[in-house]
């Protein structure tokens, strides 16, 4: 049992909250839900933004189809005209079209009902009420959500909204009956966005310091942490710019606190120098690189995966780091836990690469595997050391050295961006190639240890055609694999350093390999060719701000 609903209207018309409420209602009834928002870089305007909510009794990972859906809720005429062709059922304002043109159309006096309930701005609530009616969802589910949304302070507003919803509901039921029959199918499910998954994962992973500068689509991570973090001991600082944010993270990390920042491509550009500093002074750090369409300001509110090559090699010079790109929102929770552990165990900066599609989509999350949140702090020094002997950058076989933090008696040392010796003393006032050789090699050889912890690509399904991808593009592909026989999905998640044997094993065989990515160059394919010598000759690429959808993928494959 499955339904796909598109709610469309102008930005500022309430599409956002209508979409959220719908997704929440379905999650409450036990459905697997995925909700995606397509919008533009404008606060009020853009007549046809939409929220697409898909719900199913089986597990789903994406918003589904692009050009057809079961229900369209159009909050204005533009939206109605733009999308009605793709919909079986239409809910729209009777002011926009008074008489239905075909079966399944439900014109409703949205504004009139809203006014009657107390305020014209509740048109969206009337529409959601009608949607509940059509779907066959008990109005009390929505009423509870509205009560929670407006809280005790907004009791009156909540009541008005409930009244507005009820009118829409009654109208729809009268017109089409509860046509779709979406009753309760299970226990309520947790519903969270990708950004929230990253934030929650961070809190669970022991992150207690987050500094960032607002940038779509990373901002929701900070919004969540700013509101919820303090209760859990997380300090959230809005830095003056991304350069400051990254340097603050390094400071917090030096002080012994698990710390992270989040940004998009442009902000990450500004962080490069400090990212390299973290590599040089061996300060653990996590960066949430939330991609959007580039270059430059690019497509600020639309998705893309064109920063892979940058993530592989940010900043100048050579130093160890790691890149992880969660392939589902649920996996985001675990990817973050892993990122913090890798960062601290190997004293390196780690990038968690996602994108707008990942960060802003909402999905239901099933049981959480708590085993995956074990905190590993590596070579952290927790008791006094003898200062004359202590070597912060001791040459070890693994390359990892004991890390004393301020407050530890005897652990005094300087973390130096200049090349330094084992004690951290700057050596650049002389030519000391032997020390340089040894220290550079020490840092770089940590990668050999990191790679042992990197998993090979996740493989789903099996078949003659293997779709090779990374990060969030795996989400629609996973759905495709469950629909089409003979399609296999190979999703790279632990991207750098690459576990080459495991990668080759996954790519091996007579399969036709097709690279699927949201960028122009086929950046994963370039990377795999460089690392493995494997060429992905066929490519399905897209760089115009839309995620992949099931209908288009079926056709292309």
Partner 1 sequence: MTTVKVQASRKPMDFAVVRQPIWCPGCGDYGILEALRRALAEVGAKNEEVVIVSGIGCSSQLPHFMKTYGVHGIHGRVLPVATGIKVSNPKLTVIGVGGDGDGYGIGLNHLIHAARRNVGVVYIVSNNQVYGLTTGQMSPTTLKGVKTKTTPYGSIDSPVNPLALALSAGATFVARGFSGDVAHLAQIIAEALRHRGFALVDVLSPCVTFNRVNTYDWFRARVYKLESVGHDPTDFEQAYKRALEWPTLDPYGKIPIGLFYKREDLPAYEEEVAGLLGGRSPIEAPLELSEELVEELLARFA
Using rule CB under 8 A, residue 211 touches partner 1: yes
Using rule CB under 8 A, residue 351 touches partner 1: no
Among 44, 102, 103, 231, indicate the residue that binds partner 1 (CB under 8 A): 231
Stretch that binds partner 1, among 9-17, 35-43, 156-164, 423-431 (CB under 8 A): 423-431
Q: How far apart are CA 232 and CA 242, in angstroms?
A: 24
Among 64, 109, 194, 206, indicate the residue that binds partner 1 (CB under 8 A): 206
Q: How far apart are CA 287 and CA 212, in angstroms?
A: 10
Using rule CB under 8 A, residue 376 touches partner 1: no
Signed CA dihedral, 505, 510, 516, 517: sign only: positive
Nearer to partner 1, 421 or 515 (CB): 421
Read out DSSP for 202-256? HHHTT--EEEE---TTTHHHHHHHHHHGGGGT-EEEE-SSHHHHHHHHHHHHHTT
Tokens matching residue 296:
């430059």
Smallest distance, partner 1 to C-beta of residue 119, A: 28
Stretch that binds partner 1, among 38-46, 248-256, 440-448, 502-510 (CB under 8 A): 248-256
Stretch that binds partner 1, among 161-169, 188-196, 301-309, 321-329 (CB under 8 A): 188-196
Among 26, 192, 329, 491, indicate the residue that binds partner 1 (CB under 8 A): 192
Smallest distance, partner 1 to C-beta of residue 408, A: 6
Q: What is the DSSP letter of 122?
A: G
Read out DSSP for 370-407? GGGG-----SEE-S---TTT--TT---SSS---EE-TT
Smallest distance, partner 1 to C-beta of residue 395, A: 20
Q: How far apart are CA 337 and CA 378, in angstroms?
A: 14
Among 239, 395, 438, 465, indicate the residue that binds partner 1 (CB under 8 A): 239
Using rule CB under 8 A, residue 232 touches partner 1: yes
Tokens matching residue 213:
């500068």
Using rule CB under 8 A, residue 329 touches partner 1: no
Smallest distance, partner 1 to C-beta of residue 319, A: 13
Smallest distance, partner 1 to C-beta of residue 449, A: 23
Nearer to partner 1, 44 or 430 (CB): 430
Among 22, 166, 247, 499, indicate the residue that binds partner 1 (CB under 8 A): 247
Tokens matching residue 103:
């079966």
Q: How far apart are CA 419 and CA 464, in angstroms?
A: 51
- Nearest CA-CA partner of 200 in 272, 288, 267: 288
> CB–CB of 8/75 below 8 Å?
yes
Using rule CB under 8 A, residue 412 touches partner 1: yes
Q: How far apart are CA 37 and CA 49, in angstroms?
A: 8
Smallest distance, partner 1 to C-beta of residue 77, A: 35
Q: How far apart are CA 347 and CA 446, in angstroms?
A: 9
Q: How far apart are CA 506 and CA 456, in angstroms?
A: 8
Smallest distance, partner 1 to C-beta of residue 19, A: 16
Residues 356-375 that bind partner 1 (CB under 8 A): 365, 368, 375
Using rule CB under 8 A, residue 259 touches partner 1: yes
Tokens matching residue 498:
């690459």
Using rule CB under 8 A, residue 188 touches partner 1: yes
H or E, element range at 20: helix 15-28
| Site string (263-302) toward partner 1, x via CB under 8 A | ----------xx--x---x---------------------
Residues in contact with partner 1 by the rule CB under 8 A: 188, 190-192, 196, 200, 203-204, 206, 208-209, 211, 228, 230-235, 237, 239-241, 243-259, 273-274, 277, 281, 365, 368, 375, 387, 406-418, 425-426, 429
């Amino acid at each position: 049992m499955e339904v796909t609903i598109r709610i469309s209207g102008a930005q500022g018309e309430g599409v956002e909250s209508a979409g959220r409420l719908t997704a929440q209602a379905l999650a409450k009834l036990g459905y697997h839900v995925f909700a995606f928002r397509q919008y533009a870089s404008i606060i009020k305007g853009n007549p046809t933004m939409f929220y697409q909510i898909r719900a199913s009794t089986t597990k789903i990972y994406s918003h589904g189809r692009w050009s057809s859906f079961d229900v369209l809720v159009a909050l204005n005429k533009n939206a109605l005209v733009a999308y009605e062709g793709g919909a079986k059922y239409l809910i729209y304002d009777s002011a926009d079209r008074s008489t239905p043109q075909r079966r399944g159309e439900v014109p409703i006096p949205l504004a009139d009902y809203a006014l009657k309930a107390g305020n014209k701005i509740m048109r969206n609530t009337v529409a959601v009420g009608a949607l509940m009616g059509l779907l066959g969802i008990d109005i009390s589910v929505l009423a509870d959500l509205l009560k929670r949304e407006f809280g005790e302070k907004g009791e009156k507003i909540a009541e008005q909204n409930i009244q507005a919803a009820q009118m829409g509901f009654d109208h729809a039921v009268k017109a089409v009956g509860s046509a779709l029959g979406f009753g309760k199918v299970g226990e309520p499910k947790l519903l969270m966005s990708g950004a929230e998954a990253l934030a929650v994962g961070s809190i669970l992973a022991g992150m207690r310091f987050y500094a960032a500068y607002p940038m779509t689509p990373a901002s929701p991570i900070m919004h969540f942490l700013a509101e919820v973090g303090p209760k859990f001991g997380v300090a959230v600082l809005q830095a003056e710019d991304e350069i400051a944010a990254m340097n603050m993270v390094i400071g917090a990390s030096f002080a012994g606190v698990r710390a992270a920042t989040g940004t998009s491509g442009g902000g990450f550009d500004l962080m490069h120098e400090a990212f390299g500093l973290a590599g040089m002074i061996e300060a653990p750090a996590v960066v949430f690189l939330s991609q959007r369409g580039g270059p430059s300001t690019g497509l600020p509110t639309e998705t893309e995966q064109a920063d892979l090559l940058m993530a592989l090699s940010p900043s100048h010079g050579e130093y160890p780091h790691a890149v992880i790109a969660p392939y589902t929102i649920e996996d985001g929770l675990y990817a973050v836990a892993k990122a913090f552990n890798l960062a601290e165990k190997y004293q390196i900066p780690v990038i968690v690469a996602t994108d707008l599609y990942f960060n802003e989509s909402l999905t239901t999350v099933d049981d959480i595997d708590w085993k995956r949140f074990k905190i590993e702090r590596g070579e952290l020094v927790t008791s006094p050391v003898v200062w004359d002997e202590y070597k912060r950058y001791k040459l070890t076989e693994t390359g990892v050295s004991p890390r004393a933090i301020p407050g530890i008696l005897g652990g005094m040392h300087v973390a130096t961006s200049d090349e330094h010796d084992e004690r951290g003393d700057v050596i650049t006032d002389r030519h000391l190639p032997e020390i340089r050789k040894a220290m550079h090699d020490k840092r770089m050889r940590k990668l050999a240890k990191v790679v042992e912890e990197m998993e090979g690509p996740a493989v789903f399904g099996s078949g003659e055609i293997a779709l090779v991808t990374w990060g969030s593009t795996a989400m629609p592909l996973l759905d495709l694999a469950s629909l089409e026989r003979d399609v296999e999905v190979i999703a790279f998640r632990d991207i750098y350093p690459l576990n080459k044997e495991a990668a080759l094993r996954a790519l091996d065989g007579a399969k036709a390999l097709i690279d699927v990515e949201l960028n122009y160059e086929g950046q994963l394919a370039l990377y795999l060719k460089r690392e493995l010598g494997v060429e992905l000759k066929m490519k399905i690429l897209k760089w115009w701000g839309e995620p992949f959808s099931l209908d288009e993928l079926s056709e292309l494959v």
